[in-house]
Amino acid sequence: MKFVTDESYGKIRRVLSGVIGITEQANTIGKVPAGATIKKVVVGITTVYDGSATIDIGHATTAGAYMANTLITEGTVGTYIAYPNAALTADVTVLATVAGGTITTGAAMVEIHYEI
């Protein structure tokens, strides 16, 4: 996990990051504190996912709250970006949920950009 702070714009900007693979599960990317706003989500497919793989970026209640799998082409190497502008009223653990049955190949990196 990477944690970067940038205070040059009057607000604190931070980035959480993580790597996900082929295991069907909710992968923890990190915790974003109450009062923060999730500004941008970046998913970089570095190795093509096979089968019917999907990736959603969200939290325990809503898997695709910050980036739905319909915005990501898991079978194509590339960078996919969403701007959820989600203001948080409570601490949130951000999850990257991989689903889709039998998956034998695939890898991705995820970045969560937020400011306080």
* Token couple for 72: 């990501």
Q: Say how many domains are in the chain.
A: 1
- Three-state SS at 71: helix
**CA 103, CA 92: separation in Å to the nearest integer?**
28
**CA 107, CA 22: separation in Å to the nearest integer?**
7
CATH number at residue 80: 2.60.120
Say if residue 93's pLDDT is above 90. yes
pLDDT of residue 17: 97
The parent domain of residue 89 ranges over: 3-115
pLDDT of residue 101: 85
Burial of 39 (0-12, 13-18, 19+ CB in 10 A): middle
Q: For 43-81, how does the pLDDT look when each residue is reduced to its tens digit (9 = 90+)?
A: 999 999 998 999 999 999 999 999 999 999 999 999 999
